[in-house]
Each structure stands twice: as structure tokens, then as C-alpha cells.
Structure 1
Amino acid sequence: MLILVTYDVNTTTAEGKKRLRQVAKICVRHGQRVQNSVFECSLDTAQFAEFRHKLEKAIDVEKDSLRFYHLGKNYKGKIEHIGAKTTYDPEAPMIL
């Protein structure tokens, strides 16, 4: 299933900047960045549960926020992109 993840981390302190780096690293390991604080992640249920747990541990719930949009398996007709930043299809074959 495709999950769209967005986050907002308060970076007014050094600890906040550290949390921001941690959240970004976790997201990079699980998906592709499509905007500065927005990631598309193709995950199964177990992978999503682990991913969400890692993110919840990384943030300060009093200062930061996470949003998860569950787009499911039939997401291709639900996404419209305009602009220069191209992405890849996570379900397409990859040639290395």
C-alpha cells in the first residue's frame, strides 16, 4: 500500500534540529522524498507498523507532528503531479 507521510518538526532548538534529521533519515529509508517534509512510502502492514513506531519515538509529541495518508494499492489515479521534480514508480522494475 502507498502511504503519504508528512511531518512538521519544531526546529527552534538544537534538539529540534536533531529530531528533524532523525525523522528525515527514517523516512528516506522507507520511501522517496516528494517535497521537503513529504514522503511516499510503499509498505505492507507490518512494515508500516514498524515505520510508524520509529517515527513516533523520534518526535516530541508536544512540539512536532506526523500525518499519514493511506492511499492504498490503487493509488495511481489519485496522484497528480505538476512541476519539475520527477519521481519513480516504486512498483516498476528497477534496472541497476
Structure 2
Amino acid sequence: MELLLTYDVDTTRPEGRRRLRRVAKLCEGHGVRVQKSVFEILTDDKTLLKLMYDLEDMIDAETDSIRIYRLPHAGTEDVHTLGIATAQPHRADLVL
């Protein structure tokens, strides 16, 4: 499944800045960052549930916000960009 994950972490206090770094690092392990707090993710149900569990454990439910949108099939391939944004490949071969 293809997802769009967005987050807004309250960084007015030092612990909020730490949460922001932890949330960003977790999301980087699951998808492609397309904007500062926006990730495109390709995953399965099991991995999504684990990601949501980890995020829920990380954030402050009183001040932080995470939204996960399920995209239609091939939704990450049909992206229109403006400015410096570029469409990111998700299914291209990975060369190490």
C-alpha cells in the first residue's frame, strides 16, 4: 500500500525537539522524505501497524499530530510538482 504520512511535533520545549528528531528518524526508515515533515511510504499492513504503534509511543498526544493518508494504487507515481520539488522514485532499482 502507498501512504502519505505527515507530522507536526510541538518544538517549543527541548523534549519536543527530541521527539521531532525521533519521529523524523523513524519515518526515514520507512519512506522517502518529500517535504520537511512529509513522507511517501510503501508498506504492508503489518509494517504499518508497527509504525503506528511506534509513533503513538513516541509523540505527546496532547500537543503533536500525525496524519496518515492511504493513496490510491500508483499514487506516488502520479505526482505533480512545482518549484524545486521533484517526484521521488519508489520502485526503482536500488544500487549499493
Q: Is TM (by shorter chain) over 0.5? A: yes
1:81 maps to what in 2? 81
The unaligned stretches of length 5 or more in structure 2 are none
Q: Distance in 1 between matches of 2:49 and 2:72?
A: 15
Confirm whether residue 23 of structure 1 aligns to residue 23 of structure 2: yes
1:13 maps to what in 2? 13
Correspondence 1:1-96 to 2 at 5 A: 1-75=1-75, 76-77=77-78, 79-96=79-96
Q: Indicate the RMSD between aligned Cα atoms, in angstroms.
A: 1.4
Pairwise CA distance, 1:80: 1.7
Other structure's SS at 1:34 match: strand
- The structure in which a higher percent of residues are helix is 1
Q: Distance in 2 between matches of 1:91 and 1:73?
A: 13
Q: Distance in 2 between matches of 1:88 and 1:6?
A: 16
Pairwise CA distance, 1:85: 3.4
TM-score by length of 2: 0.89
Q: Distance in 1 between matches of 2:71 and 2:22?
A: 24
The unaligned stretches of length 5 or more in structure 1 are none
Other structure's SS at 1:46 match: helix
Give the residue type in structure 1 aligned to 2:49: A
Pairwise CA distance, 1:82: 2.1
Residues 50-82 of structure 1, C-alpha deviations (whole Å, 9 max, x = no match): 1111111110010000000100423133x3222
User: How many percent identity over aligned positions?
Assistant: 43
TM-score by length of 1: 0.89
Cα 1:74–1:88, aligned 2, differ >3 Å: closer, same or farther?
closer
Q: Which moved more, 1:54-63 or 1:85-94?
A: 85-94
